Amino acid sequence: MRRSLSVCAIAALGLLGGASLALAEEKPIVIGADSPIQVQVGRDTVDTLQMAIDEINAKGGVLGRKLTLAVADETLDPQQGVAAIKKLTGEEHVDVLIGGYSSGVTLAEEPHIADAKTIYLGVGSASPTITDFVGKNYKRFKYIFRVSPPNSTHQGELIEDFVIGKLKGEFGYNTIAIVGENAVWVQGLVPVLKAGVEKAGVKVPMVELFDPDMSDFSPLLSKVKDTGAQYLLILVSHANSDVLVKQWYDAKFPIPMGGIDVKGQDPDFFERIGGKAIGEVVTNGIIPAPITPKTMPFWNAFTERYHRSPVYTAPGAYDALQVYVQAVERAKSTDPEKVIPELEKTNYVGTQGTYVFDKHHDIESGPGKINTLFVQWQEGGKRVVVWPKDVANGKMILPPWISQRAEVIK
Amino acid sequence: MFNILVYGAVTSAVYAMLAVGFTLIFGVARILNLSHGAFYGLGAYAAYVLTAKLHWPLLPAAVFSVLFVAAFGALVERFLVRPLRASALAVLMITLAVALLFEQGMFILFGSEARNVPAFSTATWTYSGLDISGQRLLTLAAGFVVLGVLYIFIQRTRLGSAILAISQDPEGAQYMGIPANRMYSLVMALSAGIAATAGVLTAPFLTVQPTMDLLPMVKAFAIVIVGGLGSIPGSILAALLLGYSETIVAYTISPAWTEIVSLIAVLLTLILRPAGLLGTRAAF
Amino acid sequence: MRWAGKDALGAAGVLALLALIPAVTHSDYLIGILTVSLIFGIWAASWDFMSGLTGRENFGHALFIGAGAYTAALLNSKLDLSPWWCLPAGALTAVGFSLIIGFPTLRLRGPYFALAMLAAATIMQRLMRIFWEFTGGEEGIPGLDPLFESHVGTYYFCLFALTVTTAVLLALARSSWGTILRAIRGDEAACQAAGINVTFYKIAALMISAAFAGAGGVLYAHYQEAVTPDVFAVALSITIIIMVYVGGMGSIYGPVAGGIILALLPELLRGLGEYRLWVYSVILMLILFFAPGGLVAPLWRRLTAVAR
């Protein structure tokens, strides 16, 4: 259809003169989504991008050009990830890549993306190593940007904040246990977190890292109980947090729990495990609440179109596309050499907060920028923001069996 | 410690159920069934579909799931395995293909996220500092019952003797009029059914995901080797050993090492005592 | 067994075809996935040499691949060793692993040897995650140097490596070596009784298999420019076995073809989106069911038998 239209256009405009100019305007801007489409985060990235593209095209596109989407399944295997990148850059000739989830895959893809001189906006992987490359070899890796979520080191700082401000400050807890999956992002985060909270007078009698494939947490939970900790801080991303939370609930574990639980961010997590997430606090980038004026319109548009709620890569992808589009408009070109300097100047209010890049092309986090919300699952699956104070919209509760015990003791 | 005793017992019971089915089908039909984990997973997913999507009550859903997977196992044996029995490697490969299809099928039908199966029992027992859910205790009890019933079946019934006969000497048994092929289907169905039982019981407190078939299978494999291929008491003993070593390692050393325990146990057994603990068949 | 003229012609034809590809296409994608397919061909051929001939199925071939890949990654990233030196280093490390694991396990029968290798490979995978300070954990070791700056250069070198691998292994398989290994598969006791040092041949076969697999691992590491613990995964070992199976066990050249075809297949199915891997599994099942002797080697023999 497009082909025959072009031919007609050429013929028509050729008669009028100025044909070549019109031909150049026809070429669409191709957005490449490289995401693991068998996983929810991947599906949401792709669907969000499609939705965002349709919105932008309806308003006339970018620089008079329409946007189109090309998708390649990067899976969780680095080898397939590299192949996906090559397909998008080498064959579909995309103008920009948006996606990512597993840091191992993204790290393997990086040199290939850089060699293809294509801009990459990461919306899922959180390893700081990804943007370290930009610092070490700017000339080669300047194409790499990380838009969402805050990298794992920053997340550690935000958790430290939560522990000192909320747990110690409001609840008076001064002993916490830290349990996480044995993964590099946790290993980098934990020492910083531990040192930070200990300096503020919170004791950490136990730090345990478990095999991410572990499916029986009872021995671990038992060990935590023996330490006399008052709060259990968890750091879980790929591991089976469904199982951990179910087992925590089933055992009526006497210690409240919360932290980074990527699977616990899913809007249907509570329902999926039969309501057993009650009382769990989970860090989140977005929930259906007006964090910025753009949050609710995005949330509503997504849920209306796809009949499900978005997970964390969705708002990231939505905002990433906007960040790119605005940079392209400022540069008046899609040439990466012109777009990159404009991207570096980004100061954009999206659905999760304000996006500003640091000198390693990593997203800056904290109040006023991209903040991490501490959200608690409460009665009936309701999600309440309990921290930071300035955006909190409810009180943090204790899981029902714990508060009941407290009642009984009183 | 009391905790270790009880938790280790539950873990061992689940492993025993997985391993026994695996060793049964290998001991009798010489089939290294790489789709065994898929039977475990199918049991859990069937229970999920019946309870969450079709809103069946739990007990009929559980029973139906087990029977469904048993029938599925028999079908796999009849139509996929039997034509290829001439080559052990071919059988291996086709059961592998079944496992792959299971994983991919579950991905497409139910997505990658974990699903929920309701528990038979939502009670929690607390005893001298130990919190344990009713479902786990039920699993432990069920493990005993299933293994006990299996033992009685094999030792005391005619069908059981027929199975034993086939495992010792397939040709001799056939001369005695025992229909080998039908026996193989039966054993596969039994094996699948036991695996599915484990799946249905553990689904409420473990995970129901498309990739759930891999790790239990590797562990079943490990237990069967350590206990001795073809020996049911050996499998049970090895399941206890493995279940308890994992629990003890998790408690005393670090939970980061639990999954490696079974692998090291396998390697050591193979290097030091290849026939396994109670193995009747030599590994050489 | 001698070289049939037809076989040599067939091999030359395939080689020429593969060599011409960069001339007819500029797609970096195609060159990339073909490079990986060639490496899979090396791995499949190396597996076939040991397990295809002796009948001792090795379910942990990834152990050697990972050994080579991680050696290269560690030497390249921590000591700045050139990828060219990493090649022999990786192969040697893999051979070392084969000795350590081979001696205690090669005396085991069928499924026991298979399982021992599987356990060894999986243990290495988990150790790579546990000792994350050295190995980068699940994120692996990124930022490795490529062999050549040009992707086409890397492609040609891998093609060269595959050709050498296939030629060497095929020559060995068709020599008295191969006869002895096949005899061992048939009846090990008889061989022992005939005075053949069975242990020596088995270990040697495993070492040779490991050397090529490890070298392939190094090539892979420098193509990807990163390694992750997936390089030790069971899934990889099983994928290679399937490739050999489809190609035709014991023929060496069949597995090479099987490797290339099955490495390309998931890429060619990319248009199917979410259903890609499911269709791949179905195709696999159909091949495994209807062609239990493999596809490539029997087909080739049938084709050339007609013309002989």
pLDDT in tens, C134-154: 898 889 999 999 999 889 999
Res B284: pLDDT: 40
Q: Which residue is associated with the tokens 């990233």?
A: C77
Cα–Cα distance measured from residue B12 to residue A199, given in angstroms and rounded to the nearest whole number? 43
Q: Which residue is associated with the tokens 């990512």?
A: A100
- Helix/strand/coil (H/E/C) assignment for every residue in B154-209: HHHCHHHHHHHHHHHCHHHHHHCCCCHHHHHHHHHHHHHHHHHHHHHHHCCCCCCC
Res A47: pLDDT: 95
- Tokens standing for A345? 């100047």
Q: Which residue is associated with the tokens 């009642």?
A: A407
For the sheet containing A203-210, what is the strand order? A203-210, A175-181, A231-236, A257-261, A281-284, A373-378, A382-387
Cα–Cα distance measured from residue C12 to residue C40, given in angstroms and rounded to the nearest whole number? 19
Strands (E), chain B: 124-127, 130-133
Report the range of poorest mean pLDDT among A311-315, B8-12, C150-154: B8-12
Query: What single-letter amino acid sits at C2?
Result: R
Could you tell me what percent of chain C has a pLDDT over 90?
48
Res A3: pLDDT: 56
Cα–Cα distance measured from residue A309 to residue A323, given in angstroms and rounded to the nearest whole number? 23
Q: Rounded to the nearest 10 degrees, what angle do helices A40-58 and A295-306 cross at?
A: 110
Query: Could you give the dihedral angle defined by the CA atoms of residues C150, C154, C157 and C159, in that order, rounded to the nearest 10 degrees?
Result: -120
- Tokens standing for A208? 């345990």
Q: What is the mean pLDDT of chain C?
A: 89
Buried b (16+ CB within 10 A) or exposed e, B19-39: bbbbbbbbbbbbbbbbbbbbb
Nearest by CB to A133, from C140, C143, C230: name it.
C143
Nearest by CB to A210, from B11, B114, B256: name it.
B256
Residue A326, H or E segment: helix A313-331
Q: Tell how strand A348-349 and strand A281-284 pair up.
A: unpaired
Cα–Cα distance measured from residue B105 to residue A358, given in angstroms and rounded to the nearest whole number? 43
Res C10: pLDDT: 80
Residues B237, B228, C245, CA angle at the centre, nearest 5°?
130
Buried b (16+ CB within 10 A) or exposed e, A369-399: bbbbbbbbbbeeeebbbbbbeebbeeebbeb
Cα–Cα distance measured from residue B213 to residue B218, given in angstroms and rounded to the nearest whole number? 9
C-chain residues near B98 (CB < 8 A): 285
* pLDDT band per the 50, 70, 90 thresholds, residue B282: very low
Q: Does A266 touch chain B (CB under 8 A)?
A: yes
Does C12 score more than 90 pLDDT? no
Interface partners of chain A (CB pairs < 8 Å, 3 or more) are B, C
Tell which residue, A22, A7, A42, A29, has the closest CA to residue A314. A42
Res A19: pLDDT: 45
Question: Are B101 and C281 an interchain contact pair (Cβ–Cβ within 8 Å)?
Answer: yes
Q: Tell how strand A354-355 and strand A373-378 pair up.
A: unpaired
Of residues A370 and C110, more confidently modeled: A370
Res C25: pLDDT: 85
- Tokens standing for B155? 């030792």
- Identify the contact set of chain C against chain B, taking CB-CB distances under 8 A: 57, 104-105, 107-112, 115-116, 118-120, 122-123, 126-127, 130, 234, 238, 241-242, 245, 249, 274-275, 277-278, 280-282, 284-285, 288-289, 292
Nearest by CB to C108, from B104, B222, B283: name it.
B283
Inter-residue contact B142 to B197 (CB < 8 Å): yes
Residue A258, H or E segment: strand A257-261
Cα–Cα distance measured from residue A125 to residue A152, given in angstroms and rounded to the nearest whole number? 9
Question: Are A242 and B247 an interchain contact pair (Cβ–Cβ within 8 Å)?
Answer: no
Res A410: pLDDT: 44
Does A31 score more than 90 pLDDT? yes
* pLDDT band per the 50, 70, 90 thresholds, residue A23: very low
- H-assigned helices in A119-173: 129-136, 138-141, 152-162
Q: What is the mean pLDDT of residues B87-92?
A: 80
- Tokens standing for A403? 């508060």
Residue A72, H or E segment: strand A67-73
Query: Could you give the dihedral angle defined by the CA atoms of residues A325, A329, A332 and A333, in that order, rounded to the nearest 10 degrees?
Result: 0
Q: Does B221 touch chain C (CB under 8 A)?
A: yes
- H-assigned helices in A227-267: 241-250
Tell which residue, B88, B21, A78, has the closest CA to residue C109. B88
Q: Does A177 touch chain C (CB under 8 A)?
A: no
Q: Which residue is associated with the tokens 């609440």?
A: A289
Does B247 score more than 60 pLDDT? yes
Query: Could you give the dihedral angle defined by the CA atoms of residues C224, C226, C230 and C232, in that order, rounded to the nearest 10 degrees?
Result: 100
Question: Are A91 and C27 an interchain contact pair (Cβ–Cβ within 8 Å)?
Answer: yes
N- to C-terminal Cα separation, chain A: 76
Cα–Cα distance measured from residue B146 to residue B240, given in angstroms and rounded to the nearest whole number? 15
Res A20: pLDDT: 47
Tell which residue, B114, C98, B200, has the closest CA to residue A244. B114
- Write the ipTM: 0.90
Tell which residue, C161, C36, C172, has the closest CA to residue C88. C161
Of how many residues is chain B composed? 284
Q: Tell how strand A29-35 and strand A96-99 pair up.
A: parallel
Q: Does A188 touch chain C (CB under 8 A)?
A: no
Cβ of C196: how many Cβ atoms within 10 Å? 15
* pLDDT band per the 50, 70, 90 thresholds, residue B280: low
Q: Tell how strand A257-261 and strand A354-355 pair up.
A: unpaired
Inter-residue contact A91 to A61 (CB < 8 Å): no
Q: Rounded to the nearest 10 degrees, what angle do helices C83-105 and C62-78 cross at?
A: 140
Q: Chain A: give the shortest CA distance to residue C220, in Å.
A: 9
C-chain residues near B270 (CB < 8 A): 104-105, 108, 112, 115-116, 119
Select the highest-mean-pLDDT range: B51-55, B242-246, C26-30, C84-88. Answer: C84-88
Residues 24-43 of A with CB under 8 A from B: 38-40
How many CB pairs below 8 A link A and C? 96
Does A409 score more than 70 pLDDT? no
Q: Is the omega angle on the peptide bond into residue A341 within 30 degrees of 0, that is, cis?
A: no
DSSP A62: B
Q: Which residues pair with A65 in a beta bridge?
A: A62
Question: Are A247 and B205 an interchain contact pair (Cβ–Cβ within 8 Å)?
Answer: yes
Question: Are B225 and C126 an interchain contact pair (Cβ–Cβ within 8 Å)?
Answer: no
* pLDDT band per the 50, 70, 90 thresholds, residue A24: very low
Cα–Cα distance measured from residue A268 to residue A273, given in angstroms and rounded to the nearest whole number? 9
Q: Chain B: give the shortest CA distance to residue A67, in Å.
A: 29
Interface partners of chain C (CB pairs < 8 Å, 3 or more) are A, B
Tens of pLDDT, residue by residue over A1-21, are 455 555 555 555 555 544 444
Res C54: pLDDT: 87
Nearest by CB to B133, from A251, A266, A274: name it.
A251
Of residues A131 and B123, more confidently modeled: A131
Cα–Cα distance measured from residue B45 to residue B213, given in angstroms and rounded to the nearest whole number? 11
Select the highest-mean-pLDDT range: A285-294, B138-147, B200-209, C147-156. Answer: C147-156
Tens of pLDDT, residue by residue over A37-71, are 888 889 999 999 999 999 999 999 999 999 999 99
If phi over 0 gives left and psi between -120 and 50 gives alpha, with beta otherwise, what is residue C195? left
Res B254: pLDDT: 80
Q: Tell how strand A144-146 and strand A96-99 pair up.
A: unpaired
C-alpha neighbours within 13 Å on the C-beta side of residue C51? 33
Cα–Cα distance measured from residue A363 to residue C78, given in angstroms and rounded to the nearest whole number? 29
- Tokens standing for C293? 């002797």
Q: Rounded to the nearest 10 degrees, what angle do helices C234-247 and C28-47 cross at?
A: 80
Q: Tell how strand A373-378 and strand A29-35 pair up.
A: unpaired
Inter-residue contact A204 to A197 (CB < 8 Å): yes
Q: Which residue is associated with the tokens 């791949």?
A: C280
Would you give the distance in Å from CA A210 to the centre of its chain? 23
Nearest by CB to C112, from B84, B98, B270: name it.
B270
Res C69: pLDDT: 96
Q: What is the mean pLDDT of residues A93-97?
A: 95
